[in-house]
Amino acid sequence: MEEILSLKKSFLKESKSARSLAELQQLRVKYLGKKGLVTSKLKTLSTISPELRPACGRAVNEVKRYITEELRKRETLLKEEEHKRLVLSEAIDITLPGKFTPFGREHPVNKVLSEIIGIFVSMGFEVEEGPEVELDYYNFEALNMPKDHPARDMQDTFYISEDVVLRTHTSPVQIRVMERRRPPLKIIAPGKVYRCDADISHTPMFHQVEGFMVDTDVAFSDLKGVLESFIHSFFNVETPVRFRPSFFPFTEPSAEVDIGCTFCSGKGCRVCKNTGWLEILGAGMINPRVFEMVGYDVDLYTGFAFGMGVERLAMLKYSIDDIRLFFENDMRFLRQF
Query: What would the x/- binding string for ligand DAH be over residues 164 to 193, using CB under 6 A?
Result: -----x-x----------------------
> Which CB atom, from 108 or from 211, has the smaller least distance to ligand DAH?
211
Strand ranges (E), 91-163 = 126-127, 133-135
For ligand DAH, the closer CB: 37 or 294: 294
Query: Least distance to ligand DAH from the beta carbon of 309, Å?
Result: 8
By the rule CB under 6 A, 287 interacts with ligand DAH: no
- Non-local (6+) Cβ contacts of 187 within 8 A are 125, 126, 127, 128, 173, 174, 177, 210, 211, 212, 213
For ligand DAH, the binding residues in 195-234 under the rule CB under 6 A are 210
How far is Cα 225 from Cα 220, in angstroms, rounded to an integer?
Answer: 9
Among 157, 251, 262, 287, binds ligand DAH (CB under 6 A): 251
Applying CB under 6 A, the site for ligand DAH has a residue count of 11
Exactly one of 36, 172, 183, 284 binds ligand DAH (CB under 6 A); that residue is: 284
Length of the chain: 337
The Cα–Cα gap between 327 and 330 comes to 8
CB of 251 to ligand DAH, least distance (A): 4
Cα gap 220→244, rounded to integer Å: 13
User: Among 79-87, 123-131, 280-288, 312-320, which window interacts with ligand DAH (CB under 6 A)?
Assistant: 280-288
Taking contact as CB under 6 A, which single stretch among the options 7-15, 66-74, 130-138, 281-289 is the one that binds ligand DAH?
281-289
Q: Which long-range contacts (CB under 8 A, 24 or more apart) does 103-107 make?
A: 105/334, 105/335, 105/337, 106/337, 107/326, 107/334, 107/337
User: Closest approach of Cβ 142 to ligand DAH, in Å?
Assistant: 13
**Other CB atoms within 10 Å distance of the CB of residue 68:** 13
Cα angle vertex 135, ends 285, 124, to 5°? 40
- Binding residues for ligand DAH, per CB under 6 A? 169, 171, 210, 248, 251, 282-284, 305-307
